[in-house]
Amino acid sequence: MTDVSMRQMLEAGVHFGHQTRFWCPRMSPYIFGSRNKIHIINLEKTLPMFREAINFLGRVATDKGTVLFVGTKDRPVNRFANLRQVVAVRLSITDGWVAC
């Protein structure tokens, strides 16, 4: 996988967080600020952790391990479905889950 830059993350909108009224105080170290009532994620902290996650997933794949992707939005689920066609992975998609 090619190395991801901070500029690419900005262009992809990775820095946009949730609305400021819906937030968890434990996230405060990772929030750069807010604009138009949307939290802005600190990409200087996100980028190294993203790279660490990619390296971890690479090791899991090398060891033929299993990765569980969980999401609630249709767009990422569709991307995972496309990934299934490219990589020999098992994929199970559900329309919902039991809430806490």
- Selected residue with higher pLDDT from 50 and 81: 50
In angstroms, the CA 83 to CA 7 distance is 24
Least confident segment among 21-25, 42-46, 47-51: 21-25
What pLDDT, in 10s, does the model give residues 7-32? 999 999 999 998 999 888 899 999 99
Does residue 60 form part of some domain? yes
Residues 48 and 17 occupy one common structural domain: yes
Q: Would you place residue 100 in the very low, low, confident or very high pLDDT band (cuts 50, 70, 90)?
A: very low
Q: Are 43 and 14 contacting, i.e. CB atoms less than 8 angstroms apart?
A: yes
Percent of the chain surpassing pLDDT 70:
67
* Strand ranges (E), 1-100: 16-19, 31-35, 38-41
Residues 77 and 60 occupy one common structural domain: no
Summarize the chain as % helix, strand, coil (round to 5). 45, 15, 40
Residues 11 and 46 occupy one common structural domain: yes
Residues 51 and 15 occupy one common structural domain: yes
pLDDT higher than 60, residue 91: no
Does residue 35 form part of some domain? yes
Does residue 1 form part of some domain? no
Instruction: State the residue range of the domain holding 73.
Output: 68-100
Residues 100 and 79 occupy one common structural domain: yes
pLDDT for the residue 98: 57
Look up residue 66 and give its two tokens: 């299993």
Of the candidates 72, 64, 69, the residue with the CA atom closest to the CA atom of residue 91: 69
Q: What is the pTM of this model?
A: 0.68
